Amino acid sequence: MTRCTSLLLAGLLALPAMAATSAGCEGGGFTVLGHTGVFDDTIPASSVPARFTVVGKFQRFEVVAATFAIENHQFLPTNNPLDMTSNMVTPVWASKTPDHRGLVLNSGIELSIDAEVLELQRLGPGLSMKIQAKDCANGGVFQMEPERADGTETFITHTLANAPGSVLQPFYFDNPNFRAREGDTVPYKDTTVVVTARINIANDFSPRFVARDSPQVARRISEAACTNRIATRTGGVAIVQHCGGRSIWAVASGGRMGFVTGEDAIEVAPPAAPCTSKCQAQNRVRGQSVKLGFPFPVPGPSRLQPRFP
């Protein structure tokens, strides 16, 4: 089992899953386990509570210490010009829960805070988990990395916040702007990329809030109980087996599940290159991609159903 170095952190934060513009991060910074500002040390296991809260200027979420599951993730309203909340606390995730199949994290927590960047890492017998986050109004703001001594995949279930009847309830949808351009070749940096279908997250309150799951060496598990028939530009029908309120991912040991928001969620770019060890900075977009956007409000036929199986 490898231990992550500062070089690895720098490389990962430069990947598409963690991209974010400096303007969207202005004034950002987390408070975690009583620490804020600049901090880099290990919190002894005896001082780690069963769950703890991470609070920033732009985001808030809770961490389950024994699993590194994430719960009750929200974006907080600010006056940042890239704010997506439209002045309301915006719930996104009820939970992001890894299934460790009986393994438990029980070491001290390696905690690093530097400006808007946060890294948490904890070990257990046969298991390592790392969480990286950036306290920004939008962009690539979060990723979770499991690593197992047996080298097998970790299944992570992403469950969106549940607020029945509220316009703030987030949902998955098949983005019709991408379906309308599916198969087109568009510019990307100094080359081109082909438009593929895109599943995004939105709500019915803020026309600026948009997000997506961002996998690296991970595969989504199709759910037959959530089978959707989505019209294509050719007049045909695409079968999309994805629920409206959750997604399930099988993540390779050393792979990552990111969370991308704002323009980064609706750009046409190639997927992150496969990497599970000592990943270097790569695939930096720097604004050189086509943004296809999304319709607001999202039309009913594009919303994935049912919400849960």
For residue 297, whether the previous peptide bond is cis, meaning omega lies within 30 degrees of 0, is yes
Task: Give tens-digit pLDDT for 37-79.
Answer: 999 999 999 999 999 999 999 999 999 999 999 999 999 999 9
> Does the pLDDT of residue 18 top 70, yes or no?
no
Mean pLDDT of 200-214: 98
Q: Tokens for 59, please give them.
A: 């985001």
Task: Give tens-digit pLDDT for 144-194.
Answer: 999 999 999 999 999 999 999 999 999 999 999 999 999 999 999 899 999
Task: Give tens-digit pLDDT for 257-268.
Answer: 999 999 999 999
Q: Phi then psi for 14, rounded to 5 degrees?
A: -90, -10
Q: Phi then psi for 10, rounded to 5 degrees?
A: -60, -40
Mean pLDDT of 219-246: 98
Confidence of residue 284 (pLDDT cuts 50, 70, 90): very low
pTM for this model (two decimals): 0.91
Confidence of residue 1 (pLDDT cuts 50, 70, 90): very low
Give the per-residue pLDDT at 272: 77
> Does the pLDDT of residue 15 top 50, yes or no?
no
Give the per-residue pLDDT at 22: 83
